[in-house]
Structure 1
Amino acid sequence: MSGEDVLTIDDVRAAQRRIHGVAHRTPVLTSTTVNNLVGAEVFLKAENFQRVGAFKFRGAYNAVSQLSPDQLRQGVAAYSSGNHAQAVALAARIAGTTAVILMPEDTPDSKLAATRNYGAEIVTYDRYTGDRVALGNKLAAERGLVLIPPYEHPHVIAGQGTIALELLEETGPLDALLVPIGGGGLMAGCSTAAKALVPDIRMVGVEPEDADDTKRSLAAGARVSIPVGRTIADGLMADTPGRLTFSVNRRLVDEVVLVSDDEIRAAMALAFERLKVVIEPSGAAALAALLSGRLDPLPARIGVVISGGNVSLSRLHEILGQ
């Protein structure tokens, strides 16, 4: 399946209709302080205010809501470092079905607790030695569950693309849009929507320095695998871009820039102190890239996806204390 086959703007618009009234239409934040620091007009799409605290609910609900009655009776499975886990758990509860989630052993306690609170069963694995895709497929097959992957699914990607639709509906045309990249589903959905609405928009992906699989893959012209990185941005610790997501992103993404953990910390601190919002490390990556001067040349009007805010008070104190 090619990138052209995976997704169109019509799929994203259909997802927008499907999630309407269930997912939140999140606010677009602006700040004179941020504008002055950057030297451009900046629009922050605050998915930390989404249900489950992250953008993942959009794609999870769009996928689960399209399951047949027979599939819903089977129950669903997912693998996730946290936010997709919570999203699938909540979407399953809304749809009246059950969820079993495969999660890394070192997932922050707050994300484990939240996933359980939405009613899901959790099975853990070691992210540094285990293949979560193989383990997730095995779990789903053994239990007869419908697997909802975190990004390798057209309905999931379409749901994430509704972020760019909402943003551009509110701001009008933008010169650039910065999007964090883990497996690539958020970027694939957003780039599909944004490029259809504003063909010359500059789509900029952001990865941690120690988890740059998409940047390396784009440079190589094919998907490459890297060792699982160690970064505070646990939601961006992919080792290989998704097959479907990469087929989209290699066509539509203009560049990928890298940020350090210290730059992510600085962005989190600024968001807390000046914007009065709490964002998790993965959610702060795109803002970190902008604040650290990664865009050259600098566009005049810039959108930034703040992808999530799921960080506990103790973890926030630990990160910012460093």
Structure 2
Amino acid sequence: MEAHFLEACVNLEQIKAAQQLLAPVMRRTPVVASRVLSETTGFAVSLKCENLQRTGSFKPRGAYNRIANLSAEERAAGVVAASAGNHAQGVAWSATELGIKSTVFMPTGAPLPKLVATKAYGAQVHLHGSTVDEALVAAREFADRTGAVLVHPFDHEDVVAGQGTVGLEILEQLPEVGTILVPTGGGGLIAGVAAAVKAVRPQVRIVGVQAETAAAWPASLAAGKPTALASMSTMADGIAVGCPGEVPFAEVAAHVDAVVTVSEEALSKALLLCLERAKLIVEPAGVAAVAALMTCSPEELGLTGPVCAVLSGGNIDPLLLTHVISHGLRAAGRFLGVHITIDDRPGALVSLLEVVRANGASVVDVIHSRTGGELALDEVEVFLTVETRGPDNKAELLTAFDRAGYAVRLQN
């Protein structure tokens, strides 16, 4: 294992300097209590709302600190970055605030709202490749060709130090905090939070949370060095990073107590909970810490209270939000999709819908088809989408269908 993987290089003085630099331009985001998560875990849980930060995520903290520390010669050459959205917006906004030209390379499939916002913040945007890694290759080539400074999304000391100001704020807002959970992708945020918090209160437990289908950190920590994933796929694009950075790796290896993973279903449920109970719009990557509190046991997380979960961002495409809400409602047992074959006779559909009504559920959609390949001449297939009052009501309705003699096939 190479030496720079062993030695953490971001210190408290760097993070405090970043905090002083950022104070006039960054929002001190609120910490709000979550009653439902407190009841779920048995610990007092609060949410650190970085989804309410400028540009909608924590990213401007690191980007601004990195760019503000450039020399006059470096500033004159401009900056370049690669990102699917949040880092792009952070770099664009920070560069414009500092009067510096910015260029951003984004994957061709980057969410439209993030693309539009990045342009609005002042960056010249180029679409390149299908992944952030491919966009990063183009950004590096641009830097080599033009002399622009590459502002990496997580693999630089100034970026990590800027993100570490989140940790200092948490300690100021929740002085007795016992555990901090942080969404984790490339590692800039958790590295900065861990470096700041452990320097001031080493007893505080730091837990990273990754999407299980894009989790490079467990294997990397086991190997003792950043290790790339062969493939990844998750709705949480903000933490979909195939390989941790070397600078964050040193901090995480030295200071982070555990890294856990959560499913796509858990992310959907967590997003829905934030929307319904906390009245906060959070993107899938941003709710990873909440998902862990909802699905992992306190023993698995090693919780000591009070607990703080960082909401790292709120930039979500409205179309994706619609899909995720639907997915979350299904995962929570509040949406039920069923295929049922009934007799093709007057009143048969009414009888089926009466079962739904009698059990207190509401029909969202009905598709009535006579053209199914396996249907007899006197049969009709009905696809029902039903809103239930929760898992218990869903089970009651399925039992009622069975008692009424209906053969039910659940939607996949």
Equivalent in the alignment of 1:258: 261
Query: Contact 2:164–2:192 at 8 Å: present in 1 too?
Result: yes
**Residue 213 of structure 2 aligns to a residue in which SS?**
coil
**Residue 214 of structure 2 aligns to a residue in which SS?**
coil
CA distance in 1, matches of 2:292, 2:165: 23
Q: Which of 211, 214, 218 in structure 1 is aligned with 2:214?
A: 211
CA distance in 1, matches of 2:156, 2:133: 21
Q: Spell out the pairing of 1:1-322 with structure 2 (5 A cutoff).
A: 1=4, 4=7, 6-128=9-131, 131-296=134-299, 297-322=302-327
- Structure 1 residue runs of 5 or longer lacking an equivalent are none
Equivalent in the alignment of 2:389: none
Residues 129 and 250 of structure 1, relative CA distance in 2, 3 Å threshold = closer
**Residue 210 of structure 1 aligns to a residue in which SS?**
helix
Report the alpha carbon displacement of residue 300 of structure 1 after superposing the two structures with TM: 2.3
Query: Contact 1:173–1:198 at 8 Å: present in 2 too?
Result: no
One-letter identity of the residue aligned with 1:77: V
CA distance in 1, matches of 2:234, 2:133: 18
CA distance in 2, matches of 1:288, 1:2: 30
CA distance in 2, matches of 1:129, 1:190: 24
Q: Deviations over 1:85-117 (max 9, x none)?
A: 000000010011111011111111111110011
Q: Deviations over 1:31-79 (max 9, x none)?
A: 2222112211112110011000000010011111112222222111011
Query: Contact 2:198–2:255 at 8 Å: present in 1 too?
Result: yes
CA distance in 2, matches of 1:249, 1:47: 20
Residues 22 and 3 of structure 1, relative CA distance in 2, 3 Å threshold = farther
One-letter identity of the residue aligned with 1:275: A
One-letter identity of the residue aligned with 1:306: L
CA distance in 2, matches of 1:71, 1:22: 22
Q: Deviations over 1:238-274 (max 9, x none)?
A: 1111011111111111111000111011011000001
CA distance in 2, matches of 1:257, 1:5: 22
Query: Contact 1:58–1:156 at 8 Å: present in 2 too?
Result: yes
Report the alpha carbon displacement of residue 3 of structure 1 after superposing the two structures with TM: 5.8
Identity %: 39
Size of the alignment, in residue pairs?
322
CA distance in 1, matches of 2:180, 2:139: 32
State which structure, 1 or 2, has the greater radius of gyration over its C-alpha atoms: 2
Range that drifts further, 311-320 or 48-57: 311-320
Report the alpha carbon displacement of residue 314 of structure 1 after superposing the two structures with TM: 2.2
Range that drifts further, 112-121 or 131-140: 131-140
One-letter identity of the residue aligned with 2:318: L
**Residue 303 of structure 1 aligns to a residue in which SS?**
strand
Query: Contact 2:238–2:285 at 8 Å: present in 1 too?
Result: yes
CA distance in 2, matches of 1:110, 1:299: 38
One-letter identity of the residue aligned with 1:17: Q
CA distance in 2, matches of 1:43, 1:199: 20
One-letter identity of the residue aligned with 2:40: L
CA distance in 1, matches of 2:129, 2:182: 27
Q: How much is the aligned-residue C-alpha RMSD, in angstroms?
A: 1.5
TM-score normalized by structure 1? 0.96
CA distance in 1, matches of 2:130, 2:175: 41
Report the alpha carbon displacement of residue 197 of structure 1 after superposing the two structures with TM: 1.4
Report the alpha carbon displacement of residue 129 of structure 1 after superposing the two structures with TM: 9.5
Residues 260 and 82 of structure 1, relative CA distance in 2, 3 Å threshold = same
Query: Contact 1:184–1:241 at 8 Å: present in 2 too?
Result: yes
Report the alpha carbon displacement of residue 128 of structure 1 after superposing the two structures with TM: 4.7
Q: Deviations over 1:11-45 (max 9, x none)?
A: 11100000001010000011222211221111211
Residues 226 and 294 of structure 1, relative CA distance in 2, 3 Å threshold = farther
